Amino acid sequence: MNKKLEKSVYIISGPVEFELKQGEVISIGKKILVGEKIFVPEGKRIPLEVYTESQIELNRETKVEQITTRTIPDDWDKVVDYVVNNKINSLLVFGEVDTGKTFFSTYLTNRFLENKLKVSVLDCDTGQSDIGLPGSLGLAVFKEQVLFMSDTKPDALAFLGSHSPSEHFLHYASGFVKMVNYGLKNSDIVIIDTPGWVQTDGGRALRKTEIELLQGLGTNYCIILLQRERELEHLVKGLKKSQIIRLTVSKKASLTSVDERKKLREFMYTKYFKNAHTVEYDFENIFTDRGYFLSGEEVNQKVLDKKVLWIERLSNWEGLFVIARKELTSLEIEKIKKKLNVKRIITTTENNYVGMVSALLDENHEVIGFAIIEKVDFDNKKIFLRTPIYNKKECIKGIQFGSIKVTFLGQENGFVEPGTV
């Protein structure tokens, strides 16, 4: 079905695919070419800025709302000039939840590309990842303009293992440094899209740490405050005026409920794991990271209860790491301590591993993909992983444990307590 668009601004809601038949249309800073087909996914809306009378062909009936003003606030355009003139190489985008940080980052990416700058975007919003899997920090180096970050494949990944940096601050900081470094080496500017946690101890600590890390990396950074009023000012007190750009939130920034966020994450998991196959590794052919399992020396557990599946001796006073079929009682734990002459035991159950989302590492400890742990066979010392990168089995050298569990269909299915695997 054809629709004529006059010189104005429109909002088009997905799911729909449309083709620009004629005219001049720009969306989120990207020039849409005549003949180009654009797919707007369900739950997403994009603005169309029509500069000359245009015509689009829609593959289905959908809401095309004409509005009176641009959805892009005018002050957003000043950022491009400021960054270019001041040779800024990293932009930290701060904003509360639902202030359109990703939309802003997309707009800026397209505008920088238009100015012939090489741009990378680091998506740190692990609860609402667009680049990479939820629970990871993904970085993409852009060669062409885009409308949705989620259409982009990451060039580099770091694993957080959680949807929130809460209780995972160190992994967040290490991943942040790794990804920013990659971006700086491979582009002129890194746009850092941060999570919306900007208040209370955790939010303040994280945002302040990001600033300190950029200082430590020696970047020429600038902080974008996307705020409705003055809710982010506490994060930039004492910084030079030239390092802060205050912008207004787009009036069209839409709210996403907790349930919608969960659905979006599950959509990302399902999409990633839909072509997954099982690969198996002998314990001796794969290293583990961010956990106790396989970090110590195996102890023959056959002397013990049938409930015990695996025991290893950890470093010095750390004692033993014991994996059991079911949770051990305090009496059973005391029995093991006595029998193996140790004062300290960390216990867990085999169920803790099944369904855990993990990162797959190459020989340089770089994240090359993700897997869901399917099974651990302690008798035959094998681990079974479901991953879409099964064809890279030879490159997978390590598995990095996380704190999220999903079903094989990609539905969220609980957590793994940090310090128990």
229 binds another protein per the rule CB under 8 A: no
Q: Which of 82, 169, 378, 390: binder of another protein (CB under 8 A)?
A: 169
CB 48 within 8 A of CB 35: no
Least distance between another protein and beta carbon 186 (Å): 31
Total residues at interface with another protein (CB under 8 A): 18
Q: What is the rounded distance in angstroms from the CA atom of residue 305 to the CA atom of residue 321?
A: 15
378 binds another protein per the rule CB under 8 A: no
CB 277 within 8 A of CB 386: yes
Which residues, numbered 144-163, are part of the site for another protein (CB under 8 A)?
Answer: 162-163
Least distance between another protein and beta carbon 348 (Å): 12
Least distance between another protein and beta carbon 346 (Å): 15
For 143: left if phi > 0, alpha if psi spans -120 to 50, otherwise beta; the answer is alpha
Nearer to another protein, 202 or 388 (CB): 202
167 binds another protein per the rule CB under 8 A: yes
Other Cβ atoms within 10 Å of 61 Cβ, number: 9
Nearer to another protein, 106 or 403 (CB): 403
Residues 324-363: x where in contact with another protein by CB under 8 A, - otherwise, as a string? ----------------------------------------
Span near another protein by CB under 8 A; candidates 203-211, 305-313, 356-364, 376-384: 203-211
Q: What is the rounded distance in angstroms from the CA atom of residue 389 to the CA atom of residue 370?
A: 8
Q: Which of 294, 403, 405, 406: binder of another protein (CB under 8 A)?
A: 403
Q: Which of 4, 37, 208, 274: binder of another protein (CB under 8 A)?
A: 208
Q: Which of 14, 73, 196, 202: binder of another protein (CB under 8 A)?
A: 202
Nearer to another protein, 173 or 368 (CB): 173
Positive or negative, the CA dihedral 177, 154, 353, 125 is: positive
Nearer to another protein, 219 or 348 (CB): 348
415 binds another protein per the rule CB under 8 A: yes
Least distance between another protein and beta carbon 276 (Å): 24
Nearer to another protein, 81 or 327 (CB): 327
Q: What is the rounded distance in angstroms from the CA atom of residue 403 to the CA atom of residue 298?
A: 24
379 binds another protein per the rule CB under 8 A: no
Binding site for another protein (CB under 8 A): 162-164, 166-169, 201-202, 204-205, 208, 403, 414-418
